Amino acid sequence: MAGIFGIALRGLGMLGKGKKVSKTINSVKPNVPKTKLDKAKSKLAIAKQKTKGSKAKLDQTVFEISQKSKGK
């Protein structure tokens, strides 16, 4: 019984298909470094990001330890 209502509702939904919908992204070009310089730049950017993450994690740990020592 519920299946019949679902089919009917889908059918009604198809009747109102006059809306414009933005285009979907079909594909994205991969960022593949080709030269040695591009590869080095890519590795440097990745290393910078890893360092940022490690620093943030360390800062959070230091903050949590300082909060514990304050008794909060």
Domain count, the chain: 1
In a domain, 2, yes or no: no
In a domain, 38, yes or no: yes
In a domain, 14, yes or no: no
Q: What is the mean pLDDT of residues 34-59?
A: 97
What does pLDDT average to over the chain?
83
Enter the tokens of residue 50. Answer: 């890893």
Which one-letter amino acid corresponds to residue 45? A
In a domain, 42, yes or no: yes
Give φ, ψ of 38 to 5 degrees: -65, -40
Give me the domain span that covers residue 61.
Answer: 32-72
Torsion, Cα of 53, 58, 64, 67 (10° steps): -120
Check whether 58 has a pLDDT greater than 70: yes
pTM: 0.53
pLDDT number for residue 47: 98
In a domain, 58, yes or no: yes
CA distance 33 to 44: 12
In a domain, 18, yes or no: no
